[in-house]
Amino acid sequence: MNEPGGHALRARVVLLAGPSGSGKTHLAERSGLPLLDLDHFYKDGDDPSAPRHPTLGIVDWDDPQAWDADATLAALAAICRDGGADVPVYDIAHDGRVGTRRFDIDGHRAFVGTGIFAAELVTAAREQGLLADAVVVRRSRLKNFLRRLTRDIVERRKPPRTLVRRGLALLRAEPSVVARQIALGCRPCNREGTLAALRAAGGR
């Protein structure tokens, strides 16, 4: 594989988008491809450029401005070119990065970059020759709400009342979120179609 300019690439990325709670991580894990969670590229909560939620008084995790798109794209490019990179570890409960870890593709020809903002990088990744595919997972809004709320409470991401209020807001906003991700270049797939696309990108 070659990127523009003739430089060899070891792999390309499948950008996997979808609303919070839609099962992106589970599907990526089932595909057998290396999984990079792009949500770890959130900005720190004390970053002055991080937007605040107008009513909850916390960082608005659902605003793309809360996420470092430039750093994410640079990491994807390094992984595609070199086969690995050091990536951040983010803890939402602490509103910040708590360390780094090494991510490697281990010889795979594709890997999955998944997160609620994955669609924001589709155009840039395609222009740089990094993109294998771009998919948005479509599933029942109610199922997404229940899955998201259960996960966030179990992980103690924020107080339960905050999580319920945020979850209801996301439930209402979900159609527009999916529409935006499609407009940014992701093709909509149900869960079975998403899994098939991931496996195809990996040559399985």
Q: What are 167-202's pLDDT values in tens digits? A: 676 667 778 888 899 999 999 999 899 999 999 998
Band of residue 132 on the pLDDT scale cut at 50, 70, 90: very high
Pick the CATH number of 12-139+176-201 from 3.30.300.30, 1.10.3720.10, 3.50.50.60, 3.40.50.300: 3.40.50.300
Q: Are 16 and 117 in contact (CB under 8 A)?
A: no
Given phi > 0 = left and psi -120 to 50 = alpha, else beta, which region is 32? left
Band of residue 204 on the pLDDT scale cut at 50, 70, 90: low
Containing 131, the helix (H) or strand (E) segment is strand 131-137
Q: Quick check: 1 pLDDT over 70?
A: no
Containing 132, the helix (H) or strand (E) segment is strand 131-137
pLDDT of residue 167: 67
Q: What is the reported pTM? A: 0.80
Band of residue 9 on the pLDDT scale cut at 50, 70, 90: very high
